[in-house]
Amino acid sequence: MAQTSVMDKLVSLCKRRGFVFQSSEIYGGLGSVWDYGPLGVELKRNIKDRWWHAMVRARDDIEGLDAAILMHPKVWEASGHVAGFTDPLIDCKTCKARFRADQVGDAACPQKPSKHPGEHTTCALTEPRMFNLMFKTVMGPVEESGSVVYLRPETAQGIYINYLNVLQSSRQKIPFGIAQIGKAFRNEITPGNFIFRTREFEQMEMQFFVKPGDDTEWFERWRGLRMAWHQELGLNPDKLRWHPHVESELAHYARAAYDIEYEFPFGWNEIEGIHNRGDFDLSNHQKASGKKLEYFDQAANTRYLPNVVETSAGADRITLTVLADAFREEEVEGETRAVLGFLPSVAPIKAAVLPLVNKDAMPEMATELFNDIRKKFSCFYDDGGAIGRRYRRMDEVGTPFCITIDGQTATDQTVTVRHRDSMAQDRIAIDAVTRYLSERLV
Ligand code: GAP
C-alpha cells in the first residue's frame, strides 16, 4: 500500500463506519476538532479503561482523580504556561498566512506555484513572535469585569494542586501517584494528520511523587512500564521506539524526558511522554499559593518537597495509533478484504450474531443468543445480506468473532464461530458461547 493512501483509506473508513467524524461538518467543519461516532467512542473508551485499569485499579500506589478543566488563573502563571507555553510564529503580510518559525522550511506558501514561505518575491514575512497556545475565556457574567480563565492545556496541573488533598484523604505514603483522564485544549498552529494533533483532545496522565534522589530510578521504572503497556495493547513492537530529549527539546518543566514514538504512515511521531519534572511544579505552586506542599516523612522525621515522574499519553493519539496499527488490506478469493485487526479486548464490537437465513427458526435462536451474550459483551446483530458480505463488514470494523446460527443449530444446538484474522471456523455448543468468548477476549 502506498504510504499516503493508507491514511486516506483509514480516514475514509473511520467516517464511513462511524469511528470519527469532522466536528461541525454541516457548517464546513471546525479546524482540527473531531467527534467520535458509535464505534469510535467504544474503541477510545476501551483504550482509556485499559489505561485506568493498569494505572489505578491494578496498583495499590496510585489514586484516581477527575479535576475540573477550569482552574484559578494563577495555576497557569505558577506552572510557567502563561510565560512559557508558546510557539514562535511568523506572519506573511501579503497572504495573511501564519507559520511556525521552526517549520517554515516544511510549510507551503498558499500562493501558487507551490513554494515555501518567503520564496515568492511578494512574500513579506514578519520577525518571529511568541504565541501562547492556551485558549482563554472569561468567567463571570460581564465580559469586561470578568476574570480571564484558561482551558487547561494539560491535565497534570489539576493533579499538583490536589496533591495534598489526595495524599491526606487516601492515607498514601510516598512513593505514590495520582492518575487522571480528561480533556485538554491547545490552540495548535500546525494541527493535522487526522486525530494526531488536534485543538481539543484527551490526556491520560499520571504524576508519581517520589523522594528527591529517587527520581531517576522511578523515571527508568516508569519508562519500562509504559513501553510494556503499549506492547500489551497489541502494537507492533517494531513500530515503537524511544526518543530521548536533548537539552534544547526539553519542556520548560522537565529535567529529563523520553518520548515513546510510533511509526505512523506519515512517519515516526510521539505518542507518550515520560518526564522527570523534579520539584518544578510543586515548588512553584508552593511559592505562588503560599501554602506548604511539603511531605512529612514520619519514619525519617523529615520534611521535603517531592519530585515528580510524569507519564503523559494522548487518548486520541493512541486511538489513532491503534487504528493505524490494526488496519490492513488483503486479497481473498480475488477480492480485497479490509481488516482492523484490533486486540480483541479493545475492539468496539466483540462479537456479531448472524442468522444464516431469515427462516427456519434461525432468527429466533439468533436473537436469544444475542440477548444472552450482550449482557456481558458489546455485540451486534446482523441479518442483512449474504453471509460473506456480513463477515466482511465485521472484519472492516475489527469484530474478532462472528457467531452464525445455521441449519444445524436447531438439530444439535451448535453454532459456528468465525475468527476475524484467520477466517477459520470452530463449531461449538450454543450454551458454551459466553465462556468461549470470555476466554478469548483478553
Ligand atoms: N503534561 C505533559 C504534557 O502535556 P506533552 O508532551 O505536551 O506533555 C503529552 O503531551 C501527550 O499528550 C503527547 O504525547 C500526546 O499523546 C498528547 N498530545 C499533546 N498535544 C496533543 C494534541 N494537540 N493533539 C492530540 N494529542 C496531543
**Which residue, by CA, sits nearest to atom 4 of ligand 1?**
154
Q: Which of 201, 264, 274 to mutate to test the pocket of ligand 1 (most atoms within 8 A of CB)?
A: 201
The pLDDT value recorded for residue 87 is 87
The pLDDT value recorded for residue 105 is 86
Q: Which helix (H) or strand (E) holds 315?
A: helix 315-326
The pLDDT value recorded for residue 141 is 80
Whether residue 197 has its Cβ less than 6 Å from ligand 1 = yes
The pLDDT value recorded for residue 70 is 97
> Which residues does residue 275 pair with via DSSP β-bridges, in sequence order?
257, 310
**Which residue, by CA, sits nearest to atom 22 of ligand 1?**
197
In contact, 310 and 207? CB cutoff 8 Å: yes
Q: How far is the CA of 313 from the centre of ligand 1 (A)?
A: 6
CA distance 107 to 117: 7
Helix, strand, or coil here: 14? helix
Atom of ligand 1 nearest to the CA of 186: 23
Q: How far is the CA of 227 from the centre of ligand 1 (A)?
A: 16
Whether residue 37 has its Cβ less than 6 Å from ligand 1 = no
The pLDDT value recorded for residue 145 is 67
Whether residue 352 has its Cβ less than 6 Å from ligand 1 = no
CA distance 392 to 149: 49
Q: How far is the CA of 219 from the centre of ligand 1 (A)?
A: 18
CA distance 344 to 324: 16
The pLDDT value recorded for residue 140 is 86
This prediction's pTM: 0.94
DSSP class of 61: S
Atom of ligand 1 nearest to the CA of 198: 24
Whether residue 63 has its Cβ less than 6 Å from ligand 1 = no
**Which residue, by CA, sits nearest to atom 21 of ligand 1?**
197
Helix, strand, or coil here: 191? coil
**Which residue, by CA, sits nearest to atom 15 of ligand 1?**
314
User: How large is the angle between the packed helices 3-16 and 315-326, nearest 10 degrees?
Assistant: 110
Nine cell digits for residue 332:
481473498
Q: Which residues contact 307 (CB under 8 A, 6 or more apart)?
A: 209, 210, 211, 212, 214, 215, 276, 277, 278, 279
pLDDT 10s digit of each residue in the chain, 442 long?
444 589 999 999 999 999 999 999 999 999 999 999 999 999 999 999 999 999 999 999 999 999 999 999 999 999 999 999 998 899 899 988 888 888 888 888 888 888 899 899 999 999 998 999 999 999 988 777 668 999 999 999 999 999 999 999 999 999 999 999 999 999 998 778 999 999 999 999 999 999 999 999 999 999 999 999 999 999 999 999 999 999 999 988 999 999 999 999 999 999 999 999 999 999 999 999 999 999 999 999 999 999 999 999 999 999 999 999 999 999 999 999 999 999 999 999 999 999 999 999 999 999 999 999 999 999 999 999 999 999 999 999 999 999 999 999 999 999 999 999 999 999 999 999 999 999 999 7
Q: Which of 152, 264, 270 to mutate to test the pocket of ligand 1 (most atoms within 8 A of CB)?
A: 270
Q: Which of 188, 312, 320, 322 to mutate to test the pocket of ligand 1 (most atoms within 8 A of CB)?
A: 312
Q: Which helix (H) or strand (E) holds 331?
A: strand 327-332
CA distance 141 to 428: 64
Q: Which of 195, 261, 317 to mutate to test the pocket of ligand 1 (most atoms within 8 A of CB)?
A: 317
Query: How would you classify residue 368: left for phi > 0, otherwise alpha for psi between -120 and 50, otherwise beta?
Result: alpha
What is the residue whose three cell numbers read 487518548? 315
Whether residue 353 has its Cβ less than 6 Å from ligand 1 = no
Whether residue 152 has its Cβ less than 6 Å from ligand 1 = no
